[in-house]
Structure 1
């Protein structure tokens, strides 16, 4: 069951990232319908404050341990070390699935997802910022990871769905 979502709704970056708890792991599924051509660095950042130019309030990459930038889970980037939020690269129309071990969806609520202008070098590049950001460039898309309390049920009338929403989601 999907327990959190980050929705990108900008002009050049449109897509959805979902988060589901599977035992002690979090399964992340990302799909973008609009992105500039090519690979783009894709990361979970520490904060969900998206105010300011270029989503700078999102702070650095989310991590529960390593301070060295690396590739997505299971990759060899970053000398085998990585920030928890390092997810590598994403392309338009490509669905990617990631598994983060020993983490809960609740650990991600209120953090942010960022799409960067350039490819992530997975911490293997020679640039000064390779070991911190993957030399992935400016932040071109951002979204807050929000909890999902009441996923819509398939079927039923609009009136029924509205009444279910009132029962489970207090506004």
Structure 2
């Protein structure tokens, strides 16, 4: 009987620990607060798979990056901070010294303003470790008006930030995932 009393508290503790989700959706918004759609993040053995399904963007090539802060204050989204870079590398997927963990391949947006793509983010995780997207300050996904050239410091010469979405491990997110203009 005594053994069963010892197991119950352990089971209760195990049930109270919060684990990070293995999948989650990140809703992206433009500078005026309109939803552009969602990016589904899914933990994989080789990193995080990002399934992009957005509309309302201008046609052409746009950079997409994971940023170091979970804030998306419109209209410029500078509140998202710099690229997520826990290993202090240089910018650019073409950089021989390595890339920021938040550096991703460019998106190609169709003539109708939509993009549907799967992107791998091999240098991040949804698990609890140094490369986790669940940091104290949070993280976010930002799209810029131009393409990332893959080398130029610090952000690939990709232009102004035009969309942002906060990455959150909680099921309940704010209406827009962005902070209101002040």
- For the criterion TM > 0.5, the same-fold answer is yes
Q: 1:24 to 1:87 in 2, by over 3 A?
A: closer
CA-CA distance at 1:8 after TM superposition: 1.5
CA-CA distance at 1:19 after TM superposition: 0.8
Structural mapping, 1:1-171, within 5 Å: 3-10=23-30, 14-23=36-45, 25-51=47-73, 53-71=75-93, 77-79=94-96, 81-92=98-109, 93-101=114-122, 103-106=124-127, 107-109=132-134, 110-123=138-151, 130-147=152-169, 149=171
Deviations 1:49-76 (A, max 9, x none): 22254011111000232431112xxxxx
TM-score by length of 1: 0.70
Q: 1:38 to 1:105 in 2, by over 3 A?
A: same
| Unaligned ranges ≥5, structure 1 | 72-76, 124-129, 151-171
Hey, which of these two has a bigger chunk of helix by percent?
1
Q: Larger Rg: 1 or 2?
A: 2
Q: 1:88 to 1:102 in 2, by over 3 A?
A: closer
SS in 2 for 1:54: coil
SS in 2 for 1:114: strand
TM-score by length of 2: 0.66
CA-CA distance at 1:24 after TM superposition: 5.7
Q: 1:103 to 1:115 in 2, by over 3 A?
A: closer
- CA RMSD in angstroms comes to 2.5
CA-CA distance at 1:79 after TM superposition: 2.4
| Unaligned ranges ≥5, structure 2 | 1-20, 173-182
Check whether the contact 2:90–2:97 (CA below 8 A) recurs between aligned residues. Answer: no
CA-CA distance at 1:100 after TM superposition: 3.0
CA distance in 2, matches of 1:119, 1:84: 18
CA distance in 1, matches of 2:62, 2:36: 13
